Amino acid sequence: MRPILMKGHERPLTFLKYNREGDLLFSCAKDSTPTVWFADNGERLGTYKGHNGAVWCCDISRDSTLLITGCADQTAKLWDVQTGTQLYSFNFDSPVRAVDFSVGDKFAVITTDPFMEHSSSIQVKTIAEDVSEQTSESVLTIRGPQGRINRAVWGPLNQTIISAGEDAVIRIWDSETGKVLKESDKEIGHAKPITSLSKSADGSHFITGSSDKSARLWDIRTLTLLKTYVTERPVNACAISPLLDHVVIGGGQEATHVTMTSHRAGKFEAKFFHKILQEEIGGVKGHFGPINALAFNPDGRSFSSGGEDGYVRLHHFDPDYFSIKM
């Protein structure tokens, strides 16, 4: 089907997230206004105004009532999804890069960038049921890894936190004590900064994308490398299909080089790979800048991509897609 072009952002997209039911799509961009769309027809439902900087990441609670956003204005904010009112603002000393709700939505993990004299950190906040009781205290603060932490997510049963970032190492932390439980092997892991990390629908494995032009699939408990997908471009975004054994990988040459070559040379396609066979299935063209964000609808029948070009493209799969034989 023809993709639906959603032009609502004025700056490059940074992140896309569907709610659990798959009827809403939340998009973050560098233009400081996270936007919510109808995931079916791409109609804009509303925006969340209040940030003052690039919004890097967001997450939505299981019941689709609460939205958390992380922003370069050194805050992470909680929003009422329905009304768009800002409920609470966590203030930090440096830009916020990643946010993620725990199972049960009682906690949120937030990472902050290294900035001035502050090193990067991973912080866990409790999310109060009643907003009026919300505090900004951190339950846990982890400092340690060098460089930016581009993504941090909760592991099974909220027992662990998985982080990945500029130092190309994936770490599993104990969410109680803040100790490193596992680290990815330098030999088999990524060679260059990890740009994205995305969990499977059941949370059993996750995929990481890296500037080393590959994406890798890992077991979330043991951190064993399951699969490697090699592409010809730096990977900025990746996602796992909840329905079929497919993964989608997007990226392209660095944004700073984009204007120097034709858009075909930049490899701005979203590439589909067979998750198990690691073979390329096909590609979806359209963006004229690198792809920065990818997300599958939880029903696996559509996906959306967000590019450096400021567009979100919403693709509903054709019936042929579901009958691809490998």
Partner 1 sequence: MAAVMAMPDVEAAAQRLGINLSSVDLDDIRLPPGDDFGIPSDDDEDLLAREELEFESGFGNVVVVDNLPVVPPEKFEKLENVVRKIYSQIGVIKEDGFWMPTNPETKKTLGYCFIEYNTPQEAELAREKTNGYKLDKSHIFAVNLFDDFDKFMKVPDQWTPAEIKPYVPVENLHKWLTDEKGRDQYVICAGQETEVLWNDARQLKPELVYRRSQWTESFVQWSPLGTYLATMHRQGVAIWGGGSTFNRIMRYAHALVRLIDFSPGERYLVTYSSHEPNGPRDTHRVVLNIFDTRTGKVMRDFKGNADEFMTGTAGGVSGVSWPVFRWGGGKDDKYFARIGKNVISVYETETFSLVDKKSMKVENVVDFCWSPADPILALFVPELGGGNQPARVSLVQIPGKEELRQKNLFSVSDCKMYWQSNGEYLAVKVDRYTKTKKSTYTGFELFRIKERDIPIEVLELENKNDKIVAFAWEPKGHRFAVIHGDNPRPDISFYSMRTTHNSGRVSKLTTLKGKQANALYWSPAGRFVILAGLKGFNGQLEFYNVDELETMATAEHFMATDIEWDPTGRYVATSVTSVHEMENGFNIWSFNGKLLYRIPRDHFRQFLWRPRPPSLLSAEKEEEISKNLKKYSKKYEAEDQDVSLLLSEQDREKRKMLKDEWERWVKEWKRLYDEEKAERRRLRDGEASDEEEEYEAKEVEVEEILDSVEEVVP
* Residue 133 contacts partner 1 per CB under 8 A: no
**DSSP states of 8-57:** --SS-EEEEEE-TTSSEEEEEETTS--EEEETTT--EEEE-----S-EEE
Q: Which of 271, 295, 265 is nearest to 285 (CA)?
A: 271
At residue 309, the 3 state secondary structure works out as coil
Shortest separation between residue 190's beta carbon and partner 1, angstroms: 16
Residue from 44, 49, 186, 264 in contact with partner 1 (CB under 8 A) = 264
* Residue 267 contacts partner 1 per CB under 8 A: yes
Residues 251 and 243: beta-carbon distance below 8 Å: no
Complex with partner 1: residue 18 or 56, whichever CB lies closer: 18
Shortest separation between residue 200's beta carbon and partner 1, angstroms: 10
Q: How many residues make contact with partner 1 (CB under 8 A)?
A: 35
Integer angstrom CA distances of residue 40 from 84, 118, 221, 248, 250: 20, 42, 34, 20, 22
Q: Helix H segments across 221-325? A: none
Cα 87 to chain centroid, rounded: 23
Window contacting partner 1 (CB under 8 A); options: 9-17, 40-48, 139-147, 197-205: 197-205
β-pair partners for 274: 246
**How many CA atoms lie less than 13 Å away from 256 in the CB half-sphere?**
0
Q: Using the 8-state DSSP alphabet, how is residue 203 labeled?
A: S
* Residue 89 contacts partner 1 per CB under 8 A: no
Shortest separation between residue 209's beta carbon and partner 1, angstroms: 18
Residues 153 and 162: beta-carbon distance below 8 Å: yes
* Residue 233 contacts partner 1 per CB under 8 A: yes
* Residue 202 contacts partner 1 per CB under 8 A: yes
* Residue 106 contacts partner 1 per CB under 8 A: yes
Integer angstrom CA distances of residue 300 from 85, 100, 242, 291: 30, 21, 5, 19
Complex with partner 1: residue 119 or 159, whichever CB lies closer: 159
* Residue 7 contacts partner 1 per CB under 8 A: no
Which residues, 6 or more positions from 78, have their beta carbon under 8 angstroms from its beta carbon? 66, 67, 68, 86, 87, 88, 89, 127, 131, 134
Window contacting partner 1 (CB under 8 A); options: 18-26, 53-61, 132-140, 304-312: 18-26
Window contacting partner 1 (CB under 8 A); options: 138-146, 187-195, 202-210, 313-321: 202-210
Residue from 85, 261, 282, 322 in contact with partner 1 (CB under 8 A) = 261
Residue from 131, 188, 191, 276 in contact with partner 1 (CB under 8 A) = 276
Shortest separation between residue 265's beta carbon and partner 1, angstroms: 5
Binding site for partner 1 (CB under 8 A): 20-21, 23, 62, 102-104, 106, 156-158, 201-202, 204-205, 219, 221, 226, 232-233, 242, 245, 253, 257, 261-262, 264-267, 276-278, 298, 326
